[in-house]
A and B are shown apart, each in its own frame.
Chain A
Amino acid sequence: QQQVKQSPQSLIVQKGGISIINCAYENTAFDYFPWYQQFPGKGPALLIAIRPDVSEKKEGRFTISFNKSAKQFSLHIMDSQPGDSATYFCAASNAGNMLTFGGGTRLMVKP
């Protein structure tokens, strides 16, 4: 019940395209859903996060869509750029405690 399932495992997108990564969770006690971006050899960096009281949050080219009834949330990267090539992790937590991470999506944006 603590699992967060993430798909796809890898994604190739052309420059300027939209990258979409999906996550699903089981634990209804989760109340915080961040996305992290990780470059090789670096720590995860917080990209954007959402709480279940809103269905969408947008920051620049990054948007989280949240579907509470389906227990799913997704990251959309608009106008994807080669510099966005990284591994993306969704995560979830309950009241700010331990983060449960998804399996990660390796995104490659082709120029």
Chain B
Amino acid sequence: DTGVSQDPRHKITKRGQNVTFRCDPISEHNRLYWYRQTLGQGPEFLTYFQNEAQLEKSRLLSDRFSAERPKGSFSTLEIQRTEQGDSAMYLCASSLARRAHGTQYFGPGTRLTVL
């Protein structure tokens, strides 16, 4: 399968702990996006990379959140000092920037539960 993959699929942590999620995009895609989705809501944009450059960040991305894409391939999303309100599905998507419009292809998500 050459789609977007995310790891882990599920993460349970205690409040105050740090967590890190990984996303591997479709290999030829140079844009990578992170979204957060809470129960009953649609995904909300967090941040996006073009190659290794982080070009846009949502106001939802507090100081406790950091994302990297060091070599322009896989990306990590870290949440420090987790809070119960961080419990959500974290989705990664990738697209090809050469196109005038970019169809985003989503991974299966990482479901985070903060106890």
The finding on whether chains A and B are genuine partners in a shared complex, rather than unrelated, reads no
Q: Hey, which bits of chain B sit against chain A, CB under 8 A?
A: none
